[in-house]
Amino acid sequence: MNYYVYYEVDAAKLPAVRRAVEELFRKADAEFSIKGSWMRRRDDASTYMEIYEGVSDARAFEAFLEREGARVGVPRKLECFISAGTPA
């Protein structure tokens, strides 16, 4: 299962958000052995996305994202995707 978390960041808040995301990635790796990646939208310098791939414990990971993601300090939108080959 893959998680995509996206949000807008005001340029003035970017350094603090970057530090919070790096800490979030360290915790995700320590607790779930999941390495997150951080991306920015190509045509919009204010839109960012965290990507977490290969999550096996959805319930625990979603609780983690809710708890730890709040520390990023911006409203976040979470999307979860599974393989298209997975039966509905």
pLDDT tens sequence across 30-66: 999 999 999 999 999 999 999 999 999 999 999 999 9
Q: What are phi and psi of 31, to 5 degrees?
A: -85, -30
Residue 86 DSSP symbol: S
Runs of H (alpha helix) within 1-88: 14-32, 58-69
Q: Which amino acid appears at position 87 of this protein? A: P
Whether residue 88 is predicted with pLDDT greater than 90 in this model: the reply is no
- Over range 65-80, report the average pLDDT: 95
What are the backbone angles phi and psi of residue 2, rounded to the nearest 5°?
A: -120, 140
Is residue 87 very low, low, confident or very high in pLDDT (cuts 50, 70, 90)? Answer: confident
Could you say which DSSP state residue 33 is in? -
Share the mean pLDDT of the chain: 96
CA pair distance 71, 56, nearest whole angstrom:
23
Instruction: Give the C-alpha separation, 41 to 62, whole Å.
Output: 23
Percent of the chain with pLDDT over 70: 100
Model confidence, pTM: 0.92
